[in-house]
Amino acid sequence: MAVRHFHHALKIRTETCFGCTHCLKVCPTEAIRIRNGKAVLNENRCVDCGECFKACPVQAIYIDQDDFERIHGFEYRIALLPSIFLGQFSRKYNREQIYDAIKAVGFTHICEVEQSTGILQQQINRYAAENPDKKPLISSFCPAIIRLIQVRFPSLANNIMLLKPPLDITALYCRKKLTDEGVNPARIGVFYITPCAAKIAAIKSPVGEDYSMITGVINMDFLFNRVYRHIKNNLSKDVTGNDDKVLNADAIRWSLTHGESDHFEGRSFAVDEIHNVIDFLEKVENEEIKNVDFLELRACDESCAGGALTTANRFLIVERLRSTKNEEISSRESKSKTIEDYREYLEHRIKIQEIKPRSIMKLDDNMETAMLKMDQVKEIMKLLPGNDCGICGAPTCHAFASDIVQSEADIRQCIFIQKCRENTGELTLFESLRLMKEIWGKEKF
């Protein structure tokens, strides 16, 4: 498979951004710089975790999505719905009302993402048995974590399970089911309702696969507002209900923290929130944590319940989903699980291709040159104050030193270096001002 650039769902409105550095400070992969008073994204470093989106105080960072009207280009319009979506709603609105509203706003079918978790659960344990030397095995569920490992922990890329996540398995099933019923594939549109930016990026440029079975992506907050408005405006009307309720207790909580790890046969950990994940993986990489069989790693706090595109409080979402599963388990388990009819078909297509590392730590493709640059970074670090103040437009002194070595920054952009050189007469006040304007823009001066 040819190496492709990452698609990024995170976009920056330069006309709104005023260079506050909130995004700069929270980015876990140091993918953001301030240039000319605006945040600039380094696409090779970005993993679409959405931390910058959450931190931006003026909504200068947004998450792109497909035009909703695109769904009407298909006769069969499938909403690929994660259980997290239902957790957005107060308990006074039942599942039938929500599903009826989803169809009323334009979809013809609703396909619950987590219905494929039963198949995946067995395959995970089988994969572990077939690959005893790959420890710890790392879940392929969260695309932000997959990209994080590729760019920041490349030595662990081989530990990622080469199995499709529930999203892709269910999309494959939905398409197959309709085509078996005689529907022309060209008339089928499968649209995922996403709680985060990373899944948009994974669908637009999948890792481990050549293409995605999913036609497009709709942001969860966008659909929630439409559905909620429809429910509020039609409270007095009867609803038709939905016959596709196939989720059992374990499936409903799969997207929550511990949803996967509780079913793994061996020593496992469930770690959520991307900075916690980085801290844990550093310990794994340094062999401070050993004898681990399986890692369930999620970029968002409380996993998908804490996604950037959810509207309700993440803790309330978790509570609703856990209580809903307990209330509905008996009625749901009696429903026919039509996806089981396709088990063999899906199991034969559940594996993905090798996930290759894309290290951001590498300073050059040539090893000798990279080592030389690494030494240069160390020498530059001796000159810098180590305060990580961000005034140079980089998040840390080390990131700034790397930028200098890569000819992407000037050491005189460090405010401490400037003042030292002004003091010795090596730099004029006019030159210092010019350097600051290059970072923070003319308006600030």
222-251: per-residue pLDDT in tens?
999 999 999 998 876 665 555 455 567 678
The pTM of the full predicted model, rounded to 2 decimals, is 0.89
CA distances, 5 to each of 43, 47, 204, 205, 341 (Å): 8, 12, 11, 8, 37
pLDDT top residue among 364 and 239: 364
Please count the CA atoms within 13 angstroms of the CA of 26 that sit on its side-chain side.
Answer: 16
Give a three-class secondary structure readout of 22-59.
HHHHHCCCCCEEEECCEEEECCCCCCCCCHHHHHCCCC
* Max avg pLDDT among 3-12, 127-136, 290-299, 364-373: 290-299
Q: What is the pLDDT of residue 402?
A: 93
Q: Domain limits of the chain? A: 10-63, 68-347, 367-444
Kindly tell me if the per-residue pLDDT of 334 is higher than 60: no
34-53 tens-digit pLDDT: 999 999 999 889 999 999 99
Q: What is the pLDDT of residue 364?
A: 78
Return the minimum-mean-pLDDT range out of 76-85, 120-129, 334-343, 425-434: 334-343
Could you please report the per-residue DSSP string of 86-107? HTTS-TTS-HHHHHHHHHHTT-
Residue 330's pLDDT band (cuts 50, 70, 90): very low
Per-residue pLDDT averaged across 391-411, rounded? 94
Q: What is the pLDDT of residue 240?
A: 56
Q: What is the pLDDT of residue 355?
A: 92
Could you please report the per-residue DSSP string of 185-209? GGGEEEEEEESSHHHHHHHHS-SSS
Residue 156's pLDDT band (cuts 50, 70, 90): very high
Pick the CATH number of 10-63 from 3.30.70.330, 3.30.70.20, 1.10.286.10, 3.40.190.10: 3.30.70.20
